[in-house]
Amino acid sequence: MPNNTRAAFFVEQVQPAYNAVDTSPLWWESSFEIAHHLMVLHPNVRADDVGLQQVLAWVIALPNFVDDPMLANDGILQDILREWYEESNPICLN
């Protein structure tokens, strides 16, 4: 997707949902906060259906992501997916 098309998509589709999310700076260590942002921005996507490369692309595209994309590794990306999965699939202890 060309950069101008991506920017237009963000403004039209993502920005309204994103306005409801805290815009504090995000670092790789913020796996819970990143997962929450991704859940808000992609409400119809299940964590089970997302690959690590897609998570990487979505995270570094977050406007308040400030960390170095080169520091990403499978463990960090899996942590984000785990947080997303756990938040969207709560355990019932009845």
Print pLDDT tens along the chain (94 aa).
Answer: 454 454 444 445 555 555 556 789 999 999 999 999 999 999 999 999 999 999 999 999 999 999 999 999 999 999 999 999 999 987 766 6
Nearest to 48 by CA among 87, 82, 91: 82
**CATH placement of domain 3-88:** 1.10.10.600
Q: Which residues contact 33 (CB under 8 A, 6 or more apart)?
A: 22, 24, 26
90: which 2 tokens?
Answer: 């709560």
pTM, full prediction: 0.74
Q: Angle 52-61/31-41 helices, nearest 10 degrees?
A: 90
- The pLDDT assigned to 10 comes to 47
Q: Where are the domains of the chain?
A: 3-88
Give the amino acid at 10.
Answer: F
